[in-house]
């Protein structure tokens, strides 16, 4: 018995030893796990930042999509035209939540075709998309498990928009991003009971807002990343008083821990200087790029930035907004932005039926035709270090890391085009993109580079030319 007892004791000792070892191993793995999770994404190295931003910088041109229940009233509520941007009709029209929900119940985009939208992005030369997953009205365009105020549970359409669009974008090689509003006019712990502005916010509101962020906003953001592998998170509505700088930094860290290589705009935090879009410099604000809105930076910037703009005057669809910018203006905006080192996020506001308005489709297709010829001066480009422009009608870009320079004229040039700020390599050739053959040129230090344009070439400039790109090998000065 003894022996058995001895064996039992030994076994007991052995099992205690094994348990101790496994506990030590568990502690070790927890330590390792903690070590892995606790990457401080707010203090990322320059090299890691540049690596993560590389595709976005090369992309230069993306589609913004503002789409939701606000497309149903399309700017008119109870027979009254509501002033302002279409996606703000709930607030501008002082529509009570219960009444606005009826627009969500009527949202039935039976003509929505994700493949057609993704193909349009491709044909337009757009490399990424940012669609409103949830705008200020709080309505989710996907099948959220955190809320039933969403496309699947609350509308007759009953299908997940983001699932369809993210899959179509992958098919066409378009990076998929989502706009997500921090402000939420529907959720009672956010602005749900104060969005009409009929009272000042209280300390209680701020405490509730923190709970909304933790129990609602972050779980929904997690859904977007885990379900649709979002490449860009474009936050907005960060200006509300309940939202703090500390919460912004924590939100940035949270999102990066979910997907380390995701790209997040500066509206994740409180740094944005209004519509100018770049961060204030009074603190270290989170966010990977600045977001000028409806405007373009005056000067070039070494920081990452993206100008978001509408094609007419509204983000969300309004049936009577026909103030469309010309394709020439849109192409010139793109060229100006890229010459200053930025990206262009150009908006479409689809109808309640799920159609992108025809004037938007026409303009995007025409932009795509221009980019098909001139895109090498836009994509994978970087700005000149000293001069992004010459006068008001010439912009400069160059292919990243090379001596391939581009001078882009926004107006029909004269028979001799004089270019400053660059020295061509001796005996190199100069071309006009889209036109075969080399152009005659000469250079001297006094007058600079003179490119001679024959009349038969100049006579080809017409209303759909928009801009000419001259390709030069040399160095910028």
Q: Whole-number minimum distance, CB 129 to ligand FHN, in Å?
A: 14
Task: Tell me, residue by residue from 184 to 223, as one string, x for binding to ligand FHN by CB under 6 A and - for no binding.
Answer: ----------------------------------------
Residue 63 in the binding site for ligand FHN (CB under 6 A): no
Backbone torsion region of residue 13, taken as left when φ is above 0, otherwise alpha when ψ lies between -120 and 50, otherwise beta: alpha
Strands (E), 125-203: 128-134, 175-181
- H/E stretch holding 17: helix 2-37
How many residues bind ligand FHN, per CB under 6 A? 7
The answer to whether residue 100 forms part of the interface with ligand FHN (CB under 6 A) is: no
Residue 311 binds to ligand FHN (criterion: CB under 6 A): no
Among 62, 67, 87, 466, binds ligand FHN (CB under 6 A): 87
Q: Smallest distance from the beta carbon of 178 to ligand FHN, in angstroms?
A: 13
* Shortest separation between residue 236's beta carbon and ligand FHN, angstroms: 5
Region of 1-9, 44-52, 82-90, 148-156 interacting with ligand FHN (CB under 6 A): 82-90
Indicate whether 315 belongs to the interface with ligand FHN (CB under 6 A).
yes
d(CA 112, CA 124): 19
Contacts of 455 (CB under 8 A, 6+ apart): 415
- Measure the CA–CA gap between 359 and 69, rounded to whole angstroms: 21
Q: Is 76 helix (H, G, I), strand (E, B) or coil?
A: strand
Least distance CB 347 / ligand FHN (angstroms): 7
**Looking at beta carbons only, is 87 or 288 nearer to ligand FHN?**
87
Can you list the alpha helix ranges (DSSP code H) found in 38-177?
46-59, 89-92, 97-105, 114-124, 151-154, 161-172
What's the closest the beta carbon of residue 306 comes to ligand FHN, in angstroms? 10
| Among 279, 285, 288, 291, residue whose Cα is nearest residue 250 | 285
What CA–CA distance (Å, rounded) separates 432 from 419? Answer: 14
- Which window, 47-55, 80-88, 108-116, 214-222, contacts ligand FHN (CB under 6 A)? 80-88
Among 91, 184, 223, 293, binds ligand FHN (CB under 6 A): 293
- Region from 16-24, 85-93, 353-361, 380-388 binding ligand FHN, contact rule CB under 6 A: 85-93
Distance of closest approach, residue 167 Cβ to ligand FHN, in angstroms:
24
Residue 220 makes CB contacts below 8 A (sequence gap 6+) with 133, 134, 140, 144, 146, 147, 180
| Smaller CB separation from ligand FHN, 235 or 406 | 235
Q: What is the dihedral of CA 337, 129, 180, 250, to 10 degrees?
A: -70
Q: Nearest 10 degrees: CA dihedral of 205, 210, 214, 215?
A: -20
User: Is residue 321 close enough to count as binding ligand FHN by CB under 6 A?
Assistant: no
User: What is the C-alpha to C-alpha distance for residues 135 and 186, in angstroms, rounded to an integer?
Assistant: 10
Q: Can residue 129 be called a binding residue for ligand FHN (CB under 6 A)?
A: no
Binding of ligand FHN at residue 160 (CB under 6 A)? no
| Complex with ligand FHN: residue 89 or 120, whichever CB lies closer | 89
Query: Which of 88, 128 has the CB closer to ligand FHN?
Result: 88
Q: Which of 471, 435, 475, 436 is nearest to 451 (CA)?
A: 471
- Least CB distance from residue 365 to ligand FHN, whole Å? 23
Of 137, 236, 321, 366, the residue at the interface with ligand FHN (CB under 6 A) is: 236
Closest CB to ligand FHN among 85 and 161? 85
Work out how close the CB of 108 gets to ligand FHN at its nearest, in angstroms, rounded to a whole number: 23
Contact status: 269 vs ligand FHN (CB under 6 A):
no
Check residue 418 and give left, alpha or beta (phi > 0: left; psi -120 to 50: alpha).
beta
Q: With contact defined as beta carbons under 8 Å apart, do 217 and 192 qualify?
A: no
3-state secondary structure of 409: strand
Nearer to ligand FHN, 293 or 366 (CB): 293
What backbone torsions phi and psi does residue 174 show, to the nearest 5 degrees?
Answer: -100, 130
| Interface with ligand FHN, residue 85, by CB under 6 A | yes
308 binds ligand FHN, rule: CB under 6 A: yes
Residue 149 · residue 138 · CB < 8 Å? yes
The residues of the shown chain that bind ligand FHN, judged by CB under 6 A, are 85, 87-88, 236, 293, 308, 315
């Amino acid at each position: 018995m003894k022996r058995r007892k001895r064996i039992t004791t030994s076994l007991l000792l052995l099992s205690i030893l094994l348990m101790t070892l496994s506990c030590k191993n568990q502690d070790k793995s927890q330590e390792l796990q903690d070590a892995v999770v606790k990457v401080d994404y707010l203090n990322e190295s320059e090299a890691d930042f540049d690596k993560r931003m590389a595709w976005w910088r090369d992309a230069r041109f993306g589609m913004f999509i503002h789409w939701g229940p606000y497309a149903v009233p399309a700017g008119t509520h109870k027979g009254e035209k509501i002033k302002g941007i279409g996606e703000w009709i709930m607030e501008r029209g002082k529509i009570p939540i219960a009444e606005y929900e009826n627009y969500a119940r009527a949202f039935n985009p039976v003509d929505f075709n994700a493949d057609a939208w993704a193909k349009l992005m491709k044909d337009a030369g757009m490399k990424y998309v940012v669609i409103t997953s949830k705008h200020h009205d709080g309505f989710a365009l996907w099948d959220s498990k955190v809320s039933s105020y969403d496309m699947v549970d609350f509308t007759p359409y009953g299908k997940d928009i983001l699932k369809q669009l993210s899959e179509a974008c992958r098919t066409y090689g378009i990076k998929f991003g989502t706009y997500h509003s921090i402000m939420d006019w529907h959720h009672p712990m956010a602005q749900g009971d104060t969005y009409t502005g009929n009272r000042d916010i209280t300390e209680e509101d701020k405490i509730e807002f923190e709970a909304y962020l933790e129990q609602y906003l972050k779980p929904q953001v997690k859904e977007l990343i885990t379900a649709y592998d979002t490449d860009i998170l474009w936050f907005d509505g960060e200006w509300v008083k309940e939202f703090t700088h500390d919460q912004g930094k924590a939100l940035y860290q949270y999102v990066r821990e979910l997907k380390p290589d995701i790209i997040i705009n500066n509206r994740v935090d409180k740094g944005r200087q209004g519509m100018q879009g770049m961060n204030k410099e009074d603190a270290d604000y989170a966010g990977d790029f600045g977001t000028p809105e409806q405007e373009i930076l005056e000067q070039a910037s070494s920081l990452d930035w993206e100008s978001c703009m509408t094609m007419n005057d509204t983000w969300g669809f309004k049936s009577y907004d026909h103030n469309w910018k010309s394709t020439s203006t849109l192409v010139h905006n793109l060229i100006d932005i890229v010459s200053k080192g930025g990206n262009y996020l150009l908006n479409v506001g689809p109808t309640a039926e799920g159609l992108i308005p025809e004037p938007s489709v026409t303009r995007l297709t025409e932009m795509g035709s221009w980019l098909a010829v001139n895109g090498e001066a836009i994509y994978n480009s970087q700005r000149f270090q000293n001069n992004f422009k010459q006068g008001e009608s010439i912009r400069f870009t160059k292919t990243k890391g090379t001596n391939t320079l581009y001078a882009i004229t926004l107006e029909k040039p004269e028979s001799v085009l004089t270019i400053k700020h660059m020295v061509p390599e001796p005996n190199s050739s100069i071309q006009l993109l889209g036109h075969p053959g080399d152009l005659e040129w000469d250079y001297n230090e006094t007058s600079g580079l003179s490119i001679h344009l024959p009349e038969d070439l100049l006579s080809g400039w017409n209303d759909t030319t928009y801009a000419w790109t001259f390709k030069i090998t040399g160095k910028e000065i």
